[in-house]
Chains A and B, each alone.
Chain A
Amino acid sequence: MSTTVIWICGLILTVAACGTVYRIWRGPTLLDRVLASDVLVSIIVAVLCVNMVAKDSYELITLILLISMVGFIGSVTVALYANNAPSREKRLEPSRIQEVNRNDPQAAQRLAEAKRVAKARKRKKIKEGK
């Protein structure tokens, strides 16, 4: 395989992995992080495929099988566990809605209201702390 194609694939996959890691870091809820790490697993599988093509050695196929199995089990387990966990992210806290849905005409209004409430709560907390 020509090295140009391998380089192009490598660059594309690097950018994709950066975007996914950004979503894992930023993601407002737990499920966003789970989904993004699932996509990261599939990007790793893609990297293994490109590596096999580049090196002309095909022993990594079993690793692809294993990685996809592990990713499946992990994401299903976390989705099940998140169902019952009384975590901070269980209910949608208004301050954690960071993006506005454009289809919903009231979304911007609701977001502004949520931000105002969150700010007031923070101020109150600081006042109580002092």
Chain B
Amino acid sequence: MMDAFLNVLEAVCLVLGCLMSLGAAIGLIRFPDILSRLHAGTKPQVFGLMLLLLAVLIDTRSWAYLPVLVVSLLLQLLTIPISAHMVGRSGYRNKHFPAGDLKQDDLRTVIEEAEAEENATDPQGEDSQPESDVDSMRTS
């Protein structure tokens, strides 16, 4: 009885975890820009992996593999947000999507403040002339 229940639970976990991957793939294909694709793409990496590791744990029918599974899940939970953050930030800084698509843009104010500070402190330096020449050449 218990065994049958665990089997069913394991099967449900496996299929749901795989469906997360399928959802991510569909999202990657269908969504229009990098931010929404990021939203779809990070689903299977956390929740899908959680379900699949749970299925593996149920399949072992023992607690022996629990520490390793928890470690790999924690590692994933720590690293996935970092890499997603890096990709999103890089996409913003390299203008991979039009700024008009954003409903709210908090990063822009921060960048503008930083640039204003840089411009305010720049003329004090005497040797900043050649750098600005290089900059104007780059923008032209």
B28 partner residues in chain A, CB cutoff 8 A: 19-20, 23, 32, 35-36, 39
B25 partner residues in chain A, CB cutoff 8 A: 15-20, 23, 39, 43
B 55-104 contacts with A by CB, 8 A: 55-56, 59-60, 65, 68-69, 71-72, 75-76, 79-80, 82-83, 86-87, 89-91, 93-98, 100-101
Instruction: Please determine whether A49 and B32 come into contact, CB atoms closer than 8 angstroms.
Output: no
Instruction: Please determine whether B59 and A38 come into contact, CB atoms closer than 8 angstroms.
Output: no
A64 partner residues in chain B, CB cutoff 8 A: 72
Task: Classify chain B's interface size.
Answer: 35 or more
CA distance A31 to B96 in the complex (A): 8
Query: How far is the CB of A61 from the nearest CB of chain B, in Å?
Result: 5
A97 partner residues in chain B, CB cutoff 8 A: 98
Query: What 0/1 pattern do residues 45 to 56 of B give for CB contact below 8 A with A?
Result: 100110011011
B90 partner residues in chain A, CB cutoff 8 A: 31, 79-80, 82-83
20 additional contacts (CB under 8 A) given A43-B44, A46-B18, A79-B87: A2-B11, A8-B15, A12-B19, A12-B22, A18-B25, A19-B25, A20-B25, A23-B37, A31-B34, A38-B45, A39-B44, A49-B14, A56-B59, A61-B68, A69-B79, A76-B82, A90-B94, A92-B94, A92-B97, A92-B98
Please, could you name 30 A-B residue pairs with CB atoms under 8 Å apart, sorted by A? Answer: A5-B15, A8-B15, A8-B18, A12-B21, A16-B25, A23-B37, A31-B96, A34-B87, A35-B37, A39-B24, A39-B25, A39-B41, A49-B14, A49-B56, A50-B14, A52-B56, A61-B68, A62-B68, A65-B72, A65-B75, A68-B72, A69-B79, A75-B87, A79-B90, A80-B86, A89-B94, A97-B98, A101-B33, A101-B98, A110-B98
